[in-house]
Structure 1
Amino acid sequence: MAARWYPIEEADDSLFASAPLYHARSVEVPYSAQETWAALTGDGVSSWTKGMKRLTWTSPRPFGVGTTREIEMGGDFILRERFFRWEEGHRKTFSGVEGTRPIFRYLVEDYVVEPTAHGARFSWRWAAELNRPWSFFGQALNRFSFAPVGRSHIDGLPTYMAAQKAAPH
């Protein structure tokens, strides 16, 4: 049976200043900015992010503004995303566009990779507004789902990259 898709209103950077749900996190990575960017634009993201089953890029490489992907989360929830910013090697930002549950009214996520003296810094921001009736449970969903998934996504990157480096190719 085909999934039913619910629209998510596309948003931009202004959502970071106004969203009821917001997260920001950074992590220092002992690998170059180029290697860090490659990990974040590769196919392995779902392997280290809690609750994420699969990431599928639905646009061909090379990626850029307009690139799309699908994220399959636990509970059979699939999210479709479209990138409205793509600065190769440095920054990418997407808006959610559809989901298989009518949870989000707006959803925006921003990734920035910057070189540092000892590798790279990955900074991440996430902002969302939920539809009713989900909005009534926003703080509980935030505490028990959105925040832990975000932490695992950011904090798991260095371990994932170390495992990739150690793996025989």
Structure 2
Amino acid sequence: MAHQLRAVGLEFVDSAPVRLVFAREMSAPPEKVFHALVDDVPGWTEWFAAVTLARPTGDGTTREIRLRGGGRFQETIIAAKEPEVYAYRVDVANVPGVRTLVEEWRLTPSGAGTRVRWTFATDGTAAFRAVARLAAPGLGRAFRDAVGALDRRLTS
């Protein structure tokens, strides 16, 4: 059953009880990566294997996301500063125990390419926080695979 999450801003990324941070280098430049994240929301299904549906809603400041396994999210974009940061807050989720969730994609130049840092910042019940921490290796692998697939997509 879907439920409303707590509305927070970008500052939550630094103060969340559970912060999982992953990074990977890409050969595509930051501007190209930023536009893939922000402007091609439906394209996420082509490079992020866990995402089965991604579509902008409303005036483009909100998104609907569906994941393999049945996860469903309504999100609000809380930062889109080209080409440095893209972040969104989950407003509604069907994941039990989650109370707050923000994801931040931070892009920094790295030679001719981009260093992508993804922060998964969350809070919830004690059980949810424990499961989120245990999920870190799987989330890290999903992130690395997704960034690799996005890089291939952008440089082919």
Q: Percent identity, please.
A: 20
Question: SS at the partner of 2:143?
Answer: helix
The answer to whether the 8 A contact 1:16-1:22 is kept is yes
Give the TM-score, by structure 2 length.
0.82
2:69 is matched with which residue: 70, 75, 89? 75
Give, in angstroms, the shift of residue 160 of structure 1.
3.0
Matched, 1:12 2:3: no
Question: SS at the partner of 1:75?
Answer: coil
Question: SS at the partner of 1:9?
Answer: coil
Hey, which bits of structure 1, 4+ residues long, moved more than 6 A? Answer: none
Closer, same or farther: CA 75–162 of 1 in aligned 2, 3 Å = closer
Who is 2:114 aligned against? 120
| Structure 1: 5+ residue stretches without partners | none
| Structure 2: 5+ residue stretches without partners | none
The answer to whether the 8 A contact 2:57-2:63 is kept is yes
Give, in angstroms, the shift of residue 157 of structure 1.
1.4
Give, in angstroms, the shift of residue 150 of structure 1.
4.4
Tell me the alpha carbon deviations over residues 76-133 of structure 1, each in whole angstroms, 9 at most, x when there is no partner. 22011111222132212221111134431111111111222231111111110124xx
Closer, same or farther: CA 123–161 of 1 in aligned 2, 3 Å = same
Number of residue-to-residue matches in the alignment: 154
Structural RMSD (CA): 2.3
2:131 is matched with which residue: 115, 129, 140? 140
The answer to whether the 8 A contact 2:51-2:65 is kept is yes
Rounded to whole Å, the distance in 2 between the matches of 1:46 and 1:103 is 26
